[in-house]
Structure 1
Amino acid sequence: MLLIIVSILSFLPCVMCKHNKCFTTNHLLRIPHEFYQPGDFIIGGLASHIFGSFAKEDFREILITHQVRTFFIMPKNYQHILALVFAVKEINENPTILPNITLGFHIYDSYTNKRMTYRAILDLISTHPRYVPNYRCRIEKNLMAVIGGLDFGTSLYIATILGVYKIPQLSYGSFAPQNTDQSRHTPFYRMVPSDDHQYTGIVELLVHFSWTWVGLFAANNESGEKCMQTLQPLLSRKHICLAFLERTPQTSYEHNNIHLLYLQVNQVIVKSKAGVVISCGNSASILALQTMLAQWERENVAGTPMRKVWILTAQLDFIGTTYPTRWDMQVFQGSISFTVHSDEVQRFRAFLQFLNPFEENGDDFLKQFWTLVFHCLFPNSNMEEKPSGTCTGEEKLEELPSSDFEMSMTGHSYSVYNAVYAMAHALHNTLLHRSKQRAAMEGEMQELPKLQAWQLHPFLRSVSFNNSAGEKVSFGENRELETGFDITNLVTFPNNSYVRIKVGRIDLEAPPGKQFSIHEDQMVWHKSFLQVPPRSVCCPSCPPGSRKKKKEGEKFCCYDCAPCPQGRIASQKDMNDCIGCSENHFPNKDQTQCIPKTISFLTFGEPLGMCISFLSLLFFLLTLLVLVIFAKHQDTPLVRANNRDLTYTLLMSLLLCFLCPFIFLSQPERVSCLLRQMAFGVVFTVTVSCVLAKTVTVVLAFVATKPGSRMRKWVGKTLASAIVLTCTIIQAGICTVWLGTSPPFPHFDKYYVTGEIILECNEGSAALFYCVLGYMGFLAIVSFVVAFLARKLPDSFNEAKFITFSMLLFCSVWISFVPVYLSTKGKHMVAVEIFSILASSAGLMGSIFAPKCYIIMLRPDLNIREQLMRN
């Protein structure tokens, strides 16, 4: 026989029956109940609170007469028993498993009480009414295994006795204890996975919905303690804070205690900003939570919605209660439950529909269950408080609210179902092995010893099969199923029924990183939420472009939002720190993303470049026109009197000066950077040296006309050419040294202007660059001084006044150029240099050649030798 120990939190308010004998509430309701079915082998089961009651006083004796006030009815876990009965029925009807062998079972109620648990176990392993171990005086029970219990404590009590006899124990709801060593040495098989995976799944769920401010309600027992100690470090690693951590008593239902529980809920849960509350404990902990919420509903006169998402662990389950009347399930609308993985088992619903309390099948629990859930009375019932109506057997289980009974097989019932099949397959394999041994011993006068329960262990550890739902069942290394957990969403209805919708899974067989899955689009949330999915954070999210700033004295989930510093961004919400952009990018206006910088340099296409190009071309054409005029009138006295060759050289250099800006307007490259300053320096040196030569020639011409002057021999083209050539060679030497030591090169300036990469020509050696400018300035100053000294010479014959003015303009432009050039960057710096080139060149051309062109073109009567000589 196989014994199943099933810890079921179900209570009977007014009657408990055994073998058709009923006791009123004047008797203690903890009399052991038995559900017996005979068979060749027996499955033993110990069910905690299949039916029972929590009373006002805690009785410490097994049999005692006392007035009991019943508070709760909890018949729902009766489905665990029916799952075992259904599995045994299927196995007995299946010719491929245990042929010619009938399985039977004994089921006892332990009432989650140590004494009752031990008494039931002794009853299973003995046959004498006095429960004498190892004493059998009637037909032996072929007890092969025990299934139970729902809580780890109950399972451990069972194991202390069964371990002595080495009887296999399959625990269908016992999660690993807090002590890992204790878990490793527990002598039973778990039909559920380790709840460490469940806690990891809870954290993954919080991370998925970005819930960082949550509350934790834990039962005041070993299960609640483990939940707290396991969850807290996991939450901390994922940057999730606990808004509150409360311990709730497991069973405390006196009026004063209930009021204190209400105050605890109202002061802690309702007033907390946490929108998510995790509740964990054992199978009975849901009662404390239901009691608190029911009391809160009654005293919530203002009708304030709670607006909380409840996350419940697999150890908890909703149980029908009647204290003091049925309470509203709507507060749990949209809650999320982690349940032991289950699948649809064929024919189980039909099996439930054919249950009839009037059939004699040895099930003493069925009539009590029927009385509780349908509030009816069977004939000949001895009850002080008569329920309304008579039980007919026509009542339908599917009409019951889900809080009382569920037609779909729950996770724990699914574990019971698999446990029965695991034991049956192990027994089947054991018998096959023995038959092979018997065949090998054929012909010998030796019989195999009687099959003992301890012989199932090696076959049970290696059992592997597919159940009727098509899922593989086998034990892992730690003698526990690696089935995982289902994530269910609770949808409630006004009649206090509900539907569990599977919205996710923790699949332990999936690859790493894909074990957690959630289908957010299938979830139903409470109607009071202002947004879905609801938020649960201590502070509003910091928008992109800002960072979290810790509040002093607060948890790290509570913070202020501070804008990102200049040059840094925050591309996501709730960033701990802002990040900088790469060299080629810069923050946008909102500091939410980095955008590529644009490469900036002065080009022909932009308005400034077009304007410069137009002026350069205009002055170039005007200079070319002057050159043409002078070439056409080269034999006139005015042109010949001003050193015609020197004039042509000056005009040609001015033409090149007006073409220089086009080199500056091209993209900075190695060649263009080399040509810019070198061409500008040499060409302008030729221009200034020509002006200097003209000035010196004018002065020497007047000095040489004096009688006895020795300067006569210096007057002529040779001196002018020597001045121009010497000055140019010196400037060319400076440029050569510049090119040979530290030449200009293209340079990307990524930091001076936000949003731009300035492509410019780095001068290489700033000292040599200013040497070139300084040398030109020196020549200009010399020309200015000489021209200033010759300004009083006759106007009609010399051009000293015009040269003086042109050099004054030239020096003013380039003296102003230096500070402006140093204070600008990028294309504006280039534009300043181009403007200085154009302004100084235009000043020279206008000051020196405009008066001559006026005389040549408009006053030819003044362009005669007599007129010049007379003046």
Structure 2
Amino acid sequence: MDQRTSIDPEEYKSILLMKLVVQEINKNPDFLPNITLGYHIFSTCSDPKKTLGYVTKVLSGEKEAPNYYCKGRGEVAGFIGDSHFHSSHVMAQLLSLYQYTQVSYRATDTRLRDGKLYPTLFHMTPDNRILYAAIIKFLQYFGWNWVGIILSNDGSSDEESQELSKILNQHGICVDYIFKLKPDIVHDTEGLIKIWKSKAKVIIACETFASQFYYFSQLMPFTLENITFIFPPPWSKLPTYKFEDLTAINCSFIFLWAQRINVQFENPEYGISFSRCHTDPILEDIWIRLFSCLSPNPLKNYFFNLFYNISAKPCRGVKYWKAFDGYTTLPFYAYRAVYVLANALHWMYMKKNKSEQNGFQHRLHKYMRNVHYVESTGVKIYFNERREVATDLSLESWVFANSTYYLYYIITIIRPGFVPEMFTNLSNPIFWKKGKIPVSRCSDPCLPGSRKKFGSSIHKCCYECVPCPEGEISNISDSENCMKCPDEEWPNEKKDCCVPKLMEFLSYTDDTIVAVFLAVSILCCLLTGFILGIFIHYQDTPIVKANNRNLSYLLLVSIMLSFLCVFLFFGHPVDVTCMLRVTSFGVIFSVAVSSLLAKSIMVCIAFKATKPGSPWRKWMGAKLPNAIICVFSLVQVKICVTWMSISPPFQDRDTHTYQGKIIIQCNEGSVIGFYSVLGYMGLLAAASFIIAFLARTLPDSFNEAKYITFSMLVFCSVWIAMIPAYLSTRGKYMVAVEVFAIVASSSGLLGCIFFPKCYIILIRPDLNTKTIIR
């Protein structure tokens, strides 16, 4: 250890542990028999130049300068270190060239895992991929997507911070700023203001520990009291710094490589004697740093007072430093590194191949690759394909009671290949500053039912929330896109889930208009039946006999059926009712209009047949009107049968016309068939109207042709007015228009043809005589 190095108790613990394990191995007669392990220990200060210098010095065999030197020259078996990327990188390049084995006990940079570039480099811990994955899951669990990054100013973490930012961004987490902890941090006003104004309430520290964090925390006490820090394993040394105010790092989280060991050192209390400070200058620095003990060196006292604000005093009560009592993890991997290297060396010597024992340094890495043993703790030690020992990662929380006493809580253990999804035991307020989980987001989360709308910001974490458009939903928070509901579903009011669309049809139970139509149809049907009864009762009277009473009976039955056929238009449509709807009223109306046409023709023939010797007499009688009705009605029946055979109507579900509704309707199947039925019915009505209109002037006290003309005028007017109304409506209103046309036209026929006759039969029986009728 270079005497000029900065004080680092954790590194000093690593030295003590490496010394301890070497002593244990040398005392074991069954392990490396007849071989004594020695060591050189140097502090590189994470400086690549110093690293190369010390490695060259060890390889060249020069004897100057090391603090710890094994007397009696021996061969160099391998190298352990370094703890940082840049120094480990240059060491690995040089040692790979000469095929010397190197064991890194702390460096976790992924760039050092290239087996082709560094074939002799082995690692005691996995690389940063597991750490990054755990950090991402941790951030995502609490919905944090807006964070800051702090790192040392020495350049050791620059590339790592860029890699971390890239990985975070790939998982939807944005980095607001990357802040370097400089020695003159007080002059970095712009950076400090950026942190103060930022919405990022979570700060992630990069791998390399930055001693300037102490000054950083003192400069911004009010800002950092709302900040939650996430520290990587090398920052476990942070609590060893004697902070005056630990508010900044209270309720912080740290990821650590999980294994620990119990170490006995010098005495039953596992402590290091204060008396050793007089022979160990590094230990003396640590003693001053931890216990404020006065040093015999006044310059050293002045230095600690100036840089650490420590007023040293004579120490008489402190006898032992319990260096390994409780919380220590990183030094253990230096301890393990010595054991792994020694095990590989042991197995190589157990081969008893004399030819391999000369120049063994260049073959040792082959045995390292196959190291496999079980520690006293029960942990299996072996190297995976990336030349690293698989190790559990633990998430722990620091909770500080005061400036010298703190507690740590193990939150979860993250095993290789498995990153936990849940951190449910963090709901306790003790883990959070002010007892409340912070919010670290650039924008508030978009609730279900809305989506992100990105503006001019370069960060995708900064956005506005806009409601989903009609017909679309989002059922998760912070959705970037809304999704359409299936055809038969529609968003609910909050637009966070799809619900079945309303089924729209003329329902017997839900639509008032159906009740009105039903009441009118039934009343009209009963009225028609009543009129039919009157006509049957008064069948022998002149007014009933006039113009073929059988045609009147047939017309009344047709009108009665037309009122009843509207029942087919109500309720949930099915294929059968869809086929019966148009065909039933088409055929029924064709029979009714054919009856009127026969009546009109018979009126004309009757007056022409009154002339002596008229040839029209032979057409008088029941055969002609019956033939007219049968022929013209059968034409409509044939049209309907052809329609039903080729492309019949069927039930259809219209999901597009109205938002939020499914129109259950009847699809005509063949539009030509539908309009052929209506067109033929209109053709019959027009012919009946024309003939009746021509016969209206014939002399008669009761000229039925006038009433037929008027009834056909009403009939045609209703259906002509229905066509534009029918085409301009959709859904159940289209059906309502059709029903209205049927009821109105049937009522027109009933009223215009039969009401005048009923008036005479019931009110003016004096007019119901042969003399008056003739």
Task: Give runs of aligned pairs for residues 285-434 of structure 1, distance below 5 A.
Answer: 286-297=210-221, 303-304=222-223, 307-319=226-238, 326-339=243-256, 341-346=257-262, 353-357=269-273, 364=280, 366=283, 369-376=286-293, 381=296, 385=301, 387-394=312-319, 397=322, 407-434=325-352
Q: Is the 8 A contact 2:522 2:563 kept in 1?
A: yes
Structure-2 change in CA distance of 1:627 and 1:394 (3 Å): same
For each residue in 1:729-775, what CA deviation from the matched residue of structure 2 results, as whole angstroms up to 9, or x when unmatched?
33334334434544333322111122222222222333442332233
Q: Are 2:164 and 1:259 aligned?
A: no
Amino acid at match of 1:314: P
Quote the RMSD (CA, aligned, Å): 4.0
Shift of 1:844: 1.4
Task: Give runs of aligned pairs for residues 28-39 of structure 1, distance below 5 A.
Answer: 31=3
Answer with 761-770 or 359-368: which moved more. Answer: 359-368
Amino acid at match of 1:412: L
Distance, in Å, in 1 between the alignment partners of 2:755 and 2:258 is: 104
Hey, what does 1:11 align to over in structure 2?
A: none
Shift of 1:587: 2.4
Structure-2 change in CA distance of 1:121 and 1:359 (3 Å): farther
Q: Are 2:168 and 1:235 aligned?
A: yes
Distance, in Å, in 2 between the alignment partners of 1:700 and 1:810 is: 24
Distance, in Å, in 1 between the alignment partners of 2:594 and 2:25 is: 118
Task: Return the match for 2:446 from 526, 539, 542.
Answer: 542
Q: Is the 8 A contact 2:501 2:662 kept in 1?
A: yes
Structure-2 change in CA distance of 1:127 and 1:768 (3 Å): closer
DSSP-derived class of the 2:156 partner: helix
Shift of 1:519: 1.9
Amino acid at match of 2:18: L
Amino acid at match of 2:273: P
Distance, in Å, in 2 between the alignment partners of 1:312 and 1:665 is: 72
Task: Return the match for 1:502 from 394, 407, 410.
Answer: 410
Hey, what does 1:783 align to over in structure 2?
A: 688
Q: Are 2:385 and 1:483 aligned?
A: no
Structure-2 change in CA distance of 1:606 and 1:200 (3 Å): closer
Q: Is the 8 A contact 1:748 1:757 kept in 2?
A: yes
Q: Is the 8 A contact 2:273 2:319 kept in 1?
A: no
Structure-2 change in CA distance of 1:760 and 1:123 (3 Å): closer
Distance, in Å, in 2 between the alignment partners of 1:698 and 1:330 is: 112
Unaligned segments of structure 2, at least 5 residues = 302-310
Shift of 1:193: 1.6
DSSP-derived class of the 1:332 partner: coil
For each residue in 1:128-153, what CA deviation from the matched residue of structure 2 results, as whole angstroms up to 9, or x when unmatched?
86469xx99x6445765543332244
For each residue in 1:178-199, what CA deviation from the matched residue of structure 2 results, as whole angstroms up to 9, or x when unmatched?
4776983274432122224333
Amino acid at match of 1:501: Y
Q: Is the 8 A contact 2:258 2:392 kept in 1?
A: no
Answer with 557-566 or 676-685: which moved more. Answer: 557-566
Distance, in Å, in 1 between the alignment partners of 2:652 and 2:356 is: 96
Task: Return the match for 2:202 from 276, 280, 303.
Answer: 276
Q: Is the 8 A contact 2:105 2:337 kept in 1?
A: yes
Shift of 1:697: 2.4
Answer with 673-682 or 604-613: which moved more. Answer: 604-613
Distance, in Å, in 1 between the alignment partners of 2:324 and 2:563 is: 97
Shift of 1:273: 2.3
Amino acid at match of 1:374: F
Amino acid at match of 1:487: L
Amino acid at match of 1:558: C
Distance, in Å, in 2 between the alignment partners of 1:350 and 1:744 is: 100
Shift of 1:822: 0.7
DSSP-derived class of the 2:351 partner: helix
Q: Is the 8 A contact 1:806 1:848 kept in 2?
A: yes
Aligned length: 760
For each residue in 1:554-586, what CA deviation from the matched residue of structure 2 results, as whole angstroms up to 9, or x when unmatched?
333322233333222233232222222222222
Q: Is the 8 A contact 1:467 1:473 kept in 2?
A: yes
Structure-2 change in CA distance of 1:312 and 1:691 (3 Å): same
Distance, in Å, in 2 between the alignment partners of 1:808 and 1:163 is: 109
Tell me the TM-score normalized by structure 2.
0.86
Q: Are 2:377 and 1:469 aligned?
A: yes
Hey, what does 1:621 align to over in structure 2?
A: 526
Distance, in Å, in 1 between the alignment partners of 2:51 and 2:91 is: 7
Q: Are 2:475 and 1:590 aligned?
A: no
Shift of 1:344: 3.8
Hey, what does 2:569 align to over in structure 1?
A: 664
Amino acid at match of 1:593: C
Shift of 1:125: 7.3
Task: Give runs of aligned pairs for residues 154-303 of structure 1, distance below 5 A.
Answer: 154-155=87-88, 168-176=101-109, 178=111, 184-185=117-118, 187-249=120-182, 252=183, 257-261=184-188, 263-283=189-209, 286-297=210-221, 303=222
Q: Is the 8 A contact 1:357 1:370 kept in 2?
A: no
Structure-2 change in CA distance of 1:787 and 1:749 (3 Å): same
Amino acid at match of 2:293: C
Shift of 1:687: 0.3
Structure-2 change in CA distance of 1:319 and 1:234 (3 Å): closer
Structure-2 change in CA distance of 1:477 and 1:409 (3 Å): farther
Q: Are 2:78 and 1:78 aligned?
A: no
Tell me the TM-score normalized by structure 1.
0.77
For each residue in 1:483-513, what CA deviation from the matched residue of structure 2 results, as whole angstroms up to 9, or x when unmatched?
25333333223224433333344432x3xxx
DSSP-derived class of the 2:9 partner: coil
DSSP-derived class of the 2:150 partner: strand
DSSP-derived class of the 2:13 partner: helix
Q: Is the 8 A contact 2:278 2:284 kept in 1?
A: no
Distance, in Å, in 1 between the alignment partners of 2:749 and 2:267 is: 114
DSSP-derived class of the 2:233 partner: coil
Unaligned segments of structure 1, at least 5 residues = 6-29, 33-48, 53-72, 298-302, 398-404, 439-446
Hey, what does 1:566 align to over in structure 2?
A: 470
Distance, in Å, in 2 between the alignment partners of 1:329 and 1:406 is: 22
Q: Is the 8 A contact 1:199 1:230 kept in 2?
A: no
Answer with 203-212 or 568-577: which moved more. Answer: 203-212
Greater fraction of residues in helix: 2
Q: Is the 8 A contact 1:418 1:467 kept in 2?
A: no
Shift of 1:525: 7.2
Hey, what does 2:727 align to over in structure 1?
A: 822
For each residue in 1:215-250, what CA deviation from the matched residue of structure 2 results, as whole angstroms up to 9, or x when unmatched?
23333445312213422432332233332234444x
Structure-2 change in CA distance of 1:363 and 1:502 (3 Å): farther
